[in-house]
Amino acid sequence: MSMNGHRFRCYPNRTQENILLRWIGCQRFIYNSKVREDRYFRAFARKALSLTGQKPPIDQQYSQFIGPDTAWLREVPSQVLRNGAVRWKQAYRRFFQKLSGRPTLHGKGGEQSVWLTRELFAFEDDGEGGYFLRIGTKKHPLGRLRYVSDRPHDLPASIVISINAGQWHVSFATEDDVIYPKPAEIQAELSQWDETDLRAATLGVDRGIANPACTCAGKVYDFDPVQKARMEKKIRQRRRWQRRMARRTKGSSGWHKARKRVARTYTYASNVRKDFAHKVSHDLVTAPGVRMVVMEDLKVASMSRRPKAKVNDRGRPVANGARAKAGLNKAILNSAWGRIKTYAQYKAPRNNVLFLVVPPHHSSQECAVCGHIHPDNRPSQSRFVCQRCGQTDHADHNASRVIAQRGVRKVVGQCKSDQKVGAVRPEPLSPDSYAGGDQNKPQAGQHPSAHRSSKPETMPTTAQAV
């Protein structure tokens, strides 16, 4: 069994919006109340001797939060309140599994959502192969919620209705009967292949700032010029509405309007990056003849971390390149490195493709032909010149070939990750041995995009990419 995620736009009317916002607020109140209750018990367990050895209760009780001061909680279905407590317990379960920290308070800003189980919704057949979504109970009816689905789906056990920057979405997960191979099974199969055949079926991907993704087959993925222009326009709009928001009274209708307009500028850029990552990841795992996709194991969170402040002997801050690092962090996050890796990782097994990550050390300084590693091999951001064999190539394309070769050696058991600067890798690989063959190979010293556009000829749609 496998899970398929769905996320569709929905369009509630004004009355339905008010009801859903009330449900969201009540469920958030129960969740935050459970967080405060847990903090209260843990604080007294450390101070009271009589509570030594007793663990704070981790349950789904919420009736203690309904009283004379919170009588408004009775105006929503009890399932909404119960699901708030269940959400808190699920978050605590993730903490025990060491997948996240302890549950924290949820604020009113950003994306807000309410989790609804089967008692609160029903999909009704519209007679044309689609469904209507009916929300609410007999005592608390919401009515029929209009949503737009771009593909057929099965009926889920629960749904999440969310709002962000004034846009409503309904999302859920469904199960199907298709059994996909596990990554370990695909790797066991590929480990029996001949090394030459495996190199021909391997696609190395180098992620960068100038080019978000470049493959060893010569494809370069980048945002469309229209998307770049629109995102720049959104940045200018954001700054303008932020100035207007600062001049207005906090909490007024004009302030809320400006705040929503600022949020929409962030939403557009996020949607563009999601769409780009889905299309790139889909194109990578469905490329003809590709059975393995290899990327660098980049620590994006560490690479985009804010630098630690430095002070002089008098305790005053000194310049440490924080402004330049902030620009680099922004460029890294805007390139959608993490999303491309995450999406390709779950799409690869569905296409019988192995997704692999390799150490990123010296990948931009290593020659894909002779294996020589030296900082002088890369005289500029886009140019690669090997100081040993004289091989010239675009730096991103050379790095993608190196990444593909590291993935092949990792599968066949020949990966050596302890090379030092100036070392030469034994058994050099042929410069023509990469997925895609000679037809997409760029000339020496020439950018891969000179042989093809920066965007693939047939870029899949978002619906196909998912």
427: Cβ–Cβ under 8 A, 6 or more apart, which residues?
none
Which H or E run includes 2?
strand 2-10
Q: Give the predicted TM-score (pTM) of the model.
A: 0.77
User: Between β-strands 354-358 and 2-10, what pairing exists: parallel, antiparallel or unpaired?
Assistant: unpaired
- The yes-or-no verdict on residue 438 having pLDDT over 90 is no
Q: In sequence order, which ranges of 154-299 are alpha helices (DSSP H)?
A: 183-190, 195-200, 225-247, 253-285
Coil, helix or strand at residue 10: strand
Residue 327 pLDDT grade (very low, low, confident, very high; cuts 50, 70, 90): confident
Determine the Cα–Cα distance for residues 219 and 222; give it in Å rounded to an integer.
10
Determine the Cα–Cα distance for residues 446 and 448; give it in Å rounded to an integer.
6
* Predicted confidence (pLDDT) per residue in 58-110, tens digit: 889 999 999 999 999 999 999 999 999 999 999 999 999 999 999 999 998 88
Coil, helix or strand at residue 296: strand
Coil, helix or strand at residue 239: helix
408, with CB counted inside 10 A (0-12, 13-18, 19+), is: buried
Residue 155's identity, in one-letter code, is L
Please state, as a whole number, how many other Cβ atoms lie within 10 Å of the Cβ of residue 223: 20
Q: What is the mean pLDDT of the chain?
A: 83
Q: Which pLDDT score is estimated for 457? A: 38
- The yes-or-no verdict on residue 264 having pLDDT over 70 is yes
- The yes-or-no verdict on residue 422 having pLDDT over 50 is no
Cα angle, residue 96 at apex, residues 91 and 102 outer, rounded to 5°: 50
* Predicted confidence (pLDDT) per residue in 119-156, tens digit: 999 998 877 767 889 999 999 999 999 898 888 888 89
Q: Which pLDDT score is estimated for 340? A: 92
Q: How many CA atoms lie within 13 A of 122 on its CB side?
A: 10
Determine the Cα–Cα distance for residues 152 and 290; give it in Å rounded to an integer.
28
Give, in order, the Cα–Cα distances in Å from 58 to each of 87, 90, 319: 12, 10, 47
Coil, helix or strand at residue 280: helix
Determine the Cα–Cα distance for residues 390 and 445; give it in Å rounded to an integer.
11
332: Cβ–Cβ under 8 A, 6 or more apart, which residues?
209, 300, 303, 304
Domain ranges of the chain: 2-176, 183-220+281-310+337-465
Coil, helix or strand at residue 209: coil
- The yes-or-no verdict on residue 436 having pLDDT over 60 is no
Q: Please list the residues that pair with 169 across neighbouring strands.
A: 9, 162
DSSP strands (E only) in 87-152: 112-117, 121-125, 131-136, 141-145, 147-148
